[in-house]
Amino acid sequence: MRCISNMDYKKGLQPVIGSNPRILILGTLPGDESLRKQEYYGNPRNMFWKVMSGILEEPAPMQYAEKVEYLKRHGIALWDVLNAADREGSLDSNIRNEEFNDIEGLITGHPSIEVIATNGGKAEKSFRKYLRRHPSLTGIRICCCTSTSSMSLCSGWTLERLIEQWREIF
């Protein structure tokens, strides 16, 4: 039985994945603004698209459909560790009753993936929990990156530092 109202039940987005991705970036679960827009990293305060622009040395497009193609062209796939969870608001720290995505199935269907990068501490923690149940994924290089959330700026991170750290996934 659920103890949290259905208004707090959040269901994630479908993966963004091209034909031959090399890198899979895993978030935790999209925030409310991203879910409202049905776009990964749809909150304008999130620095994900700025980080990608800095790494790829090419400005990210403005329209979401073009952003998706931009990532695919560079061999980058996006998804989340969690398919759904109970969460009040958008903070990862509020996540309860998590339901995992089938990351193993995605990897099996896309053997070109060489690197998995987690976006933030909760994504890393949730993914490590997932890995304990799916040990076959341990042969893939895993990079745990600082969150691109605007909360990182409050912790002393700068856009430049994030870009440098994230560059390691390439």
Is residue 58 situated within a structural domain?
yes
In a domain, 8, yes or no: no
Domain presence at residue 7 = no
Does residue 39 form part of some domain? yes
Residues 6+ apart with CB under 8 A from 98: 29, 82, 84, 85, 126
Query: Is residue 46 annotated as part of the catalytic site, yes or no?
Result: yes
Domain around 155: 17-167
Q: pLDDT of the chain along its 170 residues, tens only? A: 444 455 599 999 999 999 999 999 999 999 999 999 999 999 999 999 999 999 999 999 999 999 999 999 999 999 999 999 998 888 777 788 999 999 999 999 999 999 999 999 999 999 999 999 988 776 789 999 999 998 888 788 999 999 999 999 98
In a domain, 6, yes or no: no
The CATH number given to whatever domain includes residue 122 is: 3.40.470.10
Q: Which of 43, 46, 101, 119 is catalytic?
A: 46
The span from the CA of 70 to the CA of 161, in Å, is: 23
* Number of separate domains in the chain: 1
Contacts made by residues 45-53, CB under 8 angstroms, sequence distance 24+: 45/149, 45/150, 46/148, 46/149, 46/150, 47/148, 47/149, 47/150, 47/152, 47/153, 47/159, 47/162, 48/119, 48/148, 50/159, 51/148, 51/159, 51/162, 51/163, 51/166, 52/76
Q: Tell whether 101 is covered by a domain.
A: yes
Looking at the domain assignment, is residue 4 inside a domain?
no
**pTM, rounded to two decimals:** 0.92
What DSSP state is assigned to residue 168? T
Domain annotation covers residue 122: yes
